[in-house]
Amino acid sequence: MNLSDKEKRYYSRQLPILKEKGQKKLKNKTVLIGGIGGIGSSAALSLARMGVGEIIIVDDDKVDLSNLNRQQLYSENDVGKPKTKIAKQKLEKINSNIDIKLINKKIDQNNIPHILDESIDAFIDGFDNIETRYVVNKRCMEKKIPYIHASCEGMEGRITLIIPNETPCLHCIYQGKKPRQKEPIPVMGFLPNKLGVMEAEQFYRFTFNLKTLKNKILIFSKDKMEPSILKIEKNKNCEICQET
Ligand SMILES: [Zn+2]
């Protein structure tokens, strides 16, 4: 389907880069964002403005005042309301050319087959815990869905692009470990926001075959302005990669 006049105007600053063909390609994409907190909000805003045609948001949380130092989709008058509902309202106001779908659930082993399937072009990680990430990682490997992973704590943040069969999976990277996290996780708001934007960029780069963080992990830390980019390799003994 061709772009409407409204879409051509909305995307006019990026059409010289994407051309109509590229913009239509984005319009035909579906991404699923797991967790619409700090990282997820920021990713959703960038993906929506970019014109990704369908964004599915999965979360079962309600907005809390303590979210507001970082979670860009929410305001003080949203406190107590479901995050997914507020996120949909805000994103639809920002770009009415795209579809926002909601799944009001916490992802677990039982419901993941109903949530994540081949119709999803990429999974965007907005979670705050490794257990749920492992559940999604396994499903993404089985169904060959690209998984864009980001996480942060304090002033440390990391991001990588996982492509099934091609790059290390999350289990390869963290070896199935469940590092102890401080609860609640201390974090400066700019860090998840930066990582969410970078997740959207990874999706864009992957979609248009540009350089990505495949087989690399980018790490921000407190003591350095420039991020470190480390090469990562598949773990030959990874139980998830062997199974799938
Ligand atoms: Zn693996």
pLDDT score recorded for residue 38: 98
CATH 3.40.50.720 assigned to 30-243: yes
E-assigned strand segments in the chain: 30-34, 54-58, 99-103, 122-125, 147-153, 156-162, 216-220, 228-231
Give residue 242 CA to ligand 1 midpoint distance, Å.
Answer: 7
Do strands 228-231 and 156-162 pair parallel, antiparallel, or not at all (unpaired)? unpaired
pLDDT score recorded for residue 127: 96
Q: Tokens standing for 193?
A: 């926001």
pLDDT score recorded for residue 176: 80
**Cα separation of 175 and 50, whole Å?**
34
**Cα separation of 48 and 71, whole Å?**
16
How much is the pTM? 0.97
pLDDT score recorded for residue 244: 74
pLDDT score recorded for residue 57: 98
Give residue 161 CA to ligand 1 midpoint distance, Å.
Answer: 13
Give residue 144 CA to ligand 1 midpoint distance, Å.
Answer: 13
**Cα separation of 73 and 86, whole Å?**
8
**Cα separation of 172 and 137, whole Å?**
10
Domain boundaries, the chain: 30-243
Residue with tokens 């993941």: 112
Give residue 217 CA to ligand 1 midpoint distance, Å.
Answer: 15
**Count of other CB atoms within 10 angstroms of residue 97:** 15
Give residue 96 CA to ligand 1 midpoint distance, Å.
Answer: 38
Do the Cβ atoms of 40 and 33 come closer than 8 Å?
yes
Question: One digit per residue, pLDDT tens: the chain, 244 residues?
Answer: 799 999 999 999 999 999 999 999 999 999 999 999 999 999 999 999 999 999 999 999 999 999 999 999 999 999 999 999 999 999 999 999 999 999 999 999 999 999 999 999 999 999 999 999 999 999 999 999 999 999 999 999 999 999 999 999 999 999 888 877 778 889 999 999 999 999 999 999 999 999 999 999 999 999 999 999 999 999 999 999 987 7
Residues present in the chain in total = 244
Give residue 133 CA to ligand 1 midpoint distance, Å.
Answer: 13
Instruction: Report which secondary-structure segment, H or E, holds 185.
Output: none
Rg (CA), the chain: 17
Does residue 217 sit in helix, strand or coil? strand
Do the Cβ atoms of 49 and 11 come closer than 8 Å?
no
pLDDT score recorded for residue 75: 98
Give residue 243 CA to ligand 1 midpoint distance, Å.
Answer: 9
